[in-house]
A = this chain, B = another copy of it.
Amino acid sequence: MTDTLIQEKLDQAVAILQEKGVDTWLTFVRETSQVHDPCLDLILGLELTWQSALLIGRGGERIAIVGFYDTDNVRNTGGWSEVIGYHQSLREPLLNALERLNPAQVAVNFSESDPAADGLTHGMYLVLTGLLAGTPYADRLISAEAIIGALRGRKTPGEVARIRRAIATTEEIFAALTPRLRPGQSEIEIAAMVKAEVAARGLAPAWSPEYCPIVNAGPDSSPGHAAPAHHRTQRGHLLHMDFGVKQDGFVSDLQRMWYFLDEGEAGPPDDVRRAWEACWAAMEAGRAALKPGVQGWEVDAAARAALVAAGYPEYQHALGHHMGRTAHDGATVLGPRWERYGRTPYGVVEPGYVMTLELGTAVPNRGYIGLEEDVLVTESGAEYLSTPQKEVWCI
């Protein structure tokens, strides 16, 4: 199954080279279990040991030049039409392949701005320029960041199917948790129940286990990246959770909310209900703005303006991020043009992007309301991959 995904991504890579007018993409690595290039997860799905060159040509060429002992594993991926093993040095097969491809530009796996496109180490850059010295290709190296960013961001059908499964599992876990929630439980106890559900399914959390799930019970618990603590659920308070699983190599990332009904209450009180509606409307305003061709900051601005217009403060983070192999799997952020986001809010949204939409507000004396759903960008807009939580769940 991994192999099918690798083939999908390699086909996509060739199309991206054609679209961007780049002749050849070279991924140059060694000992990737020590220093791992995140690109390999997209185009190979294996670790490589000796110096290795993975060349993709805009004509569809897929040439892997790897240490002799790695050749069988690379062949078995089914994605590389030419697998060349070497014993002594990759210089000759590399130069030979470049001569055949004769590229006007060689896009290489380095980037100043995108860590996910920056797997080439500086030592290996020196090795590469040494190998190419005296050839015409030495002066043709460019950054592959545009290729890698597009390849990572545009999910294939196989990738979307896996993300959907991770989301469905996450929703199952929320459904299993809800009937077990009671007033008086601590964040730590609730996190333990969630972790047990993850473990029982043989899965891993979507991000660092200390912060997955994030659990916030009541108004004294601060959202953001803090580990679950001793705050306890209480009648009249909110419970907030930010959580996802990693399944078959792909993640989900969702926030869900519960309200503990107070004596005599049949539903959430007005302050909770109003804040919920404002957050939901703001998120939907973001989703309405999310379509191919817009820049990330425009989507964020739509949601941000809606929340502020409803009388709530601006949220202090971005509206959304890519997700896929990790909880931040792509180069564009749906965020404000603040310096800390660098160039990422200026990225242009494309079909196939899978993004989160997330925002929230504190309700005084109740707790934090945070909404987060996962959506797929299609040609015409953005559709939910998750089953959106339209109302707070009452306990």
Q: Is the CB of A118 within 8 A of B35?
A: yes
Q: Give A124's nearest chain B residue, CB to CB.
A: B118
A87 within 8 A of B: yes
Query: Which residue of the partner chain, among B69, B114, B122, contacts A122 with CB atoms under 8 Å?
Result: B122
Chain B residues near A30 (CB-CB < 8 A) = 115
Across-interface contacts of A111 in B (CB, < 8 A): 123
**When each residue 350-374 of chain A gets 1 if its CB lies under 8 Å from chain B and 0 otherwise, what string results?**
0000000000000000000000000
Interface residues on A, range: 35 or more
Which residues from chain B contact A115 at a C-beta distance below 8 Å?
30-31, 34-35, 121, 123
Which of A33, A118, A124 neighbours the largest number of chain B CB atoms within 10 Å of its CB?
A118
By a CB distance below 8 angstroms, the chain B residues around A180 are: none
Whether B38 and A35, one on each chain, are in contact in the complex, defined by CB atoms closer than 8 angstroms, is yes
Residues in B neighbouring A125, C-beta threshold 8 A: 122, 125
Whether A34 lies near B110 (C-beta < 8 A) is no
- Chosen A-B contacts, 24 in total, with CB atoms closer than 8 Å, are A31-B115, A31-B116, A33-B208, A35-B35, A36-B36, A69-B225, A88-B339, A88-B340, A89-B339, A110-B121, A110-B122, A111-B123, A112-B124, A112-B126, A113-B123, A115-B121, A115-B123, A117-B123, A118-B123, A119-B121, A120-B123, A122-B122, A122-B124, A125-B125
> In chain A, residues 106-148, which have Cβ atoms closer than 8 Å to a Cβ of chain B?
110-127, 130, 143
Q: How far is the CA of A34 from the CA of B122 in the complex (A)?
A: 16
Q: A33 to B209, alpha carbons, bound, how many Å?
A: 13
Known: A34-B38, A35-B115. 12 other contacts (CB 8 A): A30-B115, A31-B115, A87-B340, A88-B340, A89-B339, A110-B123, A114-B123, A120-B121, A121-B121, A121-B122, A122-B125, A125-B125
Q: Of all chain B residues, which has the CB nearest A69?
A: B225
Give the nearest-CB partner of A109 in chain B.
Answer: B122
A187 interface residue per 8 A CB criterion: no
- A37 interfacial contact with B, CB 8 Å: yes
Majority-rule SS of A interface residues: loop
A38 to B36, CA, bound (A): 10
Separation in Å of the A317 CB from the closest CB of chain B? 12
Question: In the complex, what distance in Å separates the CA atom of A116 from the CA atom of B122?
Answer: 12
Most chain B CB atoms below 10 A, which of A123, A125, A208? A123
Interface string of A17-43 (1 = CB under 8 A from B): 000000000000011011111100000
Interface set, chain A 74-128, CB cutoff 8 A to B: 87-89, 110-127
Residue of A38, A124, A127, A130 most packed against chain B (CB within 10 A): A124
Q: What is the CA–CA distance of A165 and B56 in the complex, to the nearest angstrom?
A: 47
Nearest Cβ distance between residue A127 and chain B, in whole angstroms? 5
* Minimal beta-carbon separation of A387 from chain B (angstroms): 30
Q: With both chains docked as a complex, state the minimum distance between the C-beta of A200 and any C-beta of chain B, in angstroms.
A: 17
Whether B119 lies near A120 (C-beta < 8 A) is: no
Alpha-carbon separation in the docked complex, A121 to B117 (Å): 10
> In the docked arrangement, what's the CA distance between A118 and B122, Å?
7
Q: Which residues of B contact A89 (CB under 8 A)?
A: 339
- With a cutoff of 8 Å between Cβ atoms, the chain B residues found around residue A127 in the complex are 112
For the complex of A and B, 5 pairs with smallest distance between CB atoms: A118-B123, A31-B115, A110-B122, A122-B125, A118-B121
Nearest residue, chain B, Cβ from A125: B122
Partner of A35 from the list B36, B113, B340 (CB cut-off 8 Å) is B36
Min CB distance A377 to B, Å, is: 23
